[in-house]
C-alpha cells in the first residue's frame, strides 16, 4: 500500500480542520438561535459542548501541524 504524499497529508489535515471549524460555527449559531427562541438551557449546553469538543479537536490538529501546511 502506498504511503500518502506530503501534499495529501496537508490536504487531509486542512479538510479535518475545516470540518471542525464548521462544527464550531454551526453549534454556536444553533445555541444562539435556541437562546433567542427561549429554548431550554440543557439544549443550549448540548450545542456548546459540541463546539467545545470541536475546539479541542482543532487544538489537537494544530499540535500535529503537518509540514507544508
Q: Which of 2-6, 25-29, 30-34, 64-68 has the lowest mean pLDDT?
A: 2-6
State the pLDDT at residue 3. Answer: 65
Whether the pLDDT of residue 4 is over 70: the answer is: no
CA-based nearest residue to 55, from 15, 33, 27, 29: 27
User: CA 18, CA 25: separation in Å to the nearest integer?
Assistant: 10
User: CA 68, CA 51: separation in Å to the nearest integer?
Assistant: 27
Instruction: Report pLDDT digits (tens) over 37-48.
Output: 999 999 999 999
Residue range 16-30: mean pLDDT, rounded: 98
Name 12's Cβ contacts closer than 8 Å, sequence gap at least 6.
4
Amino acid at each position: 500500500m502506498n504511503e500518502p504524499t506530503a501534499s495529501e497529508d496537508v490536504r487531509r489535515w486542512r479538510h479535518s480542520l475545516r470540518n471542525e471549524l464548521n462544527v464550531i460555527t454551526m453549534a454556536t449559531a444553533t445555541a444562539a438561535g435556541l437562546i433567542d427562541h427561549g429554548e431550554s438551557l440543557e439544549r443550549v449546553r448540548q450545542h456548546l459542548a459540541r463546539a467545545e469538543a470541536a475546539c479541542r479537536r482543532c487544538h489537537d490538529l494544530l499540535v500535529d501541524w503537518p509540514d507544508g501546511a
